[in-house]
Amino acid sequence: MAVTPKIAPSMLSSDFANLATEAQRMLDFGADWLHMDIMDGHFVPNLTIGAPVIESLRKHTKAYLDCHLMVTNPLDYVEPLAKAGASGFTFHVETSKNDWKELIQRIKSHGMRPGISLKPGTPIEEVFPLVEAENPVEMVLVMTVEPGFGGQKFMPEMMDKVSPPSFCTYT
């Protein structure tokens, strides 16, 4: 299995009044994807953007919109984000322990790429069943800050989690 790192700056720190311009600026700087942080005020204490903002931004860019859902019920967001033009749908392993197979299937059936994310305190082994499954996720997002707040200090100790296991190589 090949592992391809992507540069995906979070748009959370953008000037939301000029989101399309900010997105283009990130792409001009070399971003591979645009990381869209979606928070529900339950899984994390803050609220951020949702499907209407993704839909508005999609009108101004063909970039890969990597939607990172920090939400309690990710299944509720699949159809609205697909209709809005999301490219990827990354959910938290901590929110989907009982229904991840159905969630992955729904994400894929709506034409998005499924990804899994884990908080800094969650062991990397938690994502192995989702990566090794018959119908696996296609991306792993290893968080290097606690979810829910922008502007945090990078946690270098999380880099151990991104070292590829023996069955992976970087490309």
How many independent structural domains does the chain possess?
1
| In contact, 104 and 129? CB cutoff 8 Å | no
Percent of the chain predicted with pLDDT > 90:
60
pLDDT in tens, 130-157: 888 888 999 988 888 778 777 778 767 7
Q: How many distinct helices (H) and strands (E) make up the chain? A: 5, 7
Q: In angstroms, rounded to a whole number, what is the distance separating the alpha carbons of residues 92 and 62?
A: 25
Which residue range(s) make up the domain with 68?
2-170
Give the mean pLDDT of 109-136: 90
**End-to-end CA, the chain:** 10
pLDDT in tens, 44-62: 999 999 999 999 999 999 9
pLDDT score, position 171 = 45
Kindly tell me the burial class for residue 122, based on how many C-beta atoms sit within 10 Å of its own C-beta (0-12, 13-18, 19 or more).
middle
- Looking at residue 76, which CATH number applies to its domain? 3.20.20.70
pLDDT in tens, 8-45: 999 998 999 999 999 999 999 999 999 999 999 999 99
CA 139 remoteness from chain centre: 8
